Structure 1
Amino acid sequence: MMHRMIGGVILIASFGAAWLMMDFNRFKQTPLDLPEAGLSYTLEPGTSYDGVVEALRERGVLENPLYMRLLGRLDGRAGRIQAGEYDIPHGTTPETLIALLVSGRVKSYSLTVIEGWTFSQLLELLAGEEAIRQTFEGVGPAEIMQRIGHPEEHPEGRFLADTYHFPRGTTDLAFLKRAYQAQADLLASEWQRRDPELPLDAPYAALIFASIIEKETGVASERARIAGVFVRRLRKGMKLQTDPTVIYGMGKRYNGNIRKRDLLEDTPYNTYVHRGLPPTPIALPGADAIHAALHPSDGKALYFVAKGNGEHHFSATLEEHNRAVRKYQLRR
């Protein structure tokens, strides 16, 4: 009798274990109770796997928290989850959820730094991005450069104008370090491949030069031509006489108009007053402007004037230039 009872208990236990295994396998492959649009979930740093399970239970996503805890511990993946913001799509199963949390494939944000922006505009962009963690409140440019690891450097032009992808919680400091390094790497690469005999003595001079080209035209096909004009003027000892440098030197006083007295004002950036390049870049140049600065077009033009449609008229002589000014600027 006892043997039959023990046998019956074993049989029931076997059936029970088999049922539990089947139910557990069913749970692993059954989609979570997610909305059609999916779910955005932020796994905060320091959160345990059990904390994740509990948070998902509270949001009504999990059918069986006990199974979910067991699933994470069977092969040790519970200890390998990574913090970050995750997009959990509709149709995700417990098995694919753990794989996602272990993979670290967090939600990515993007931010585009526009060519020709100033450093102050870049800081405004970062301050307005809710996915960026702010650490620069009340901090000036000099201290920012010190935190980046490049004290005593002027920040203008040092950050590459490009589109960057990053996870939520990235700090403004980390973003700037990345953009700084991207600019440094690009500039070093382009400097190594520069045209011979340019009137530029160092990569930083090329960065200054590129920032002027960036501000002078938004027409891609003109960048190398404008670079060629400025290179020829530098070689001849002529003043660059470029308005964007005057505007940069005016700072917040610039209201959209340049007057004659502004062209005569002795600021370090006024290329109508001083020969050569200004002391620092005047904007954030993009890759194309840097390339143009180091690969200017050949030609004879020494002047150019805006035509009013975004393009420029190029002239080899002052007489031709004055005619173009009357035609396009004075409308005579």
Structure 2
Amino acid sequence: MAEPLKNLLHPGVVMEIADRLSRCAPGFDRDRFVASAGGGLESLELMQRSLKIRDALIEGLPLDFPAAVSILDAALPNGNAPGLTGWALLPASQFVAVRGLGNFELSLSFLRRLTPHFTGEFAIRPFIQQEQDRALKTIRRWVEDDDHHVRRLASEGTRPRLPWAMRLPRLILDPRPILPILTALLDDPEEYVRRSVANSLNDIAKDHPDLVADFVAAHMAGASPERLKLLRHASRTLLKQGHRGALANFGFEPPLGVAAHLALATPTVRFGNDLVLGLTMRNADGSRQRVMIDYAVHHRKANGDTSPKVFKWTTVTLDPGSTIEFRKHHPMRPITTRRYYGGAHRVVILVNGQPAAQADFELVMA
């Protein structure tokens, strides 16, 4: 079994922070910090642990914010000199997000220096929330930074619906202020950055589908394979939803004369085994057609209703009069993001986003 995520912040990390801050600030009360940050840590989840350590930093660092940031800055790695890295810096970034709102430029400057050692994407969001225009003016400059972690911070930190983070309601309502940031990073040399851009656009698509479809269309011409991959990933939610503009961007039109037949090799599935799908596709039209095949599993919920989850299958070109058969194994096994319930389920085949065939199956729990 995988190690629980919460164990990334453990008493050893508290000791590491205490030792480093003691070296940087001789007056830092190491023992008090360890007692405050480490007491009862094991009973808490990841973010609760981080906030507990953050609160101990608030207690232990100087009330004067520039002096406190100076100590944290000195605790970062510098050249070949070691310093705090990784999850030890999550509480430090949260400290700045709380204590630094009155020291705007100093705080953002420190978070830029911190982010090569651990992302500051969560910590910059209160600054965007407080003074969006001012924050974005600074963040736009980061797209030209030599460090790819900082460039990614510009896109990831401004995502309207960043997971685990506070949402940015103004950008959810109107995401246009961050489009120049995303445009500047479309051809970033690092996939790590480009994937963040795609995720941000996918966030925006949930509230502004036409805006993202139009954005993708405007940046398709002359696009490199890397940019095309980014734009396709940015459109993934729209493609699953069958958005006409998004489908057209990638050469998918409403299917004509395409018939689909779905047969389940496993009409009854015991939990832990695979649902086995057999799909036959026939093109009765007189033209070649490029089709994207997805499938939605309608999972049963505790109240007996069902909720669909769309999964990718394949993309093929159907010649006139041709028939193609496919087979797919879909695991019905424990995962951390879903709880399964026994009973009737349904699977629906989607062709270019449109329902084309369906079949029911019974899930039997062990």
TM-score bracket relative to the smaller structure = under 0.3
- TM, length-normalised to structure 2: 0.24
Q: Larger relative contact order (C-alpha < 8 A, sep ≥ 6)?
A: 1
Compare the two structures and name the one with the higher strand fraction: 2
Q: Which of the two has higher C-alpha Rg?
A: 1
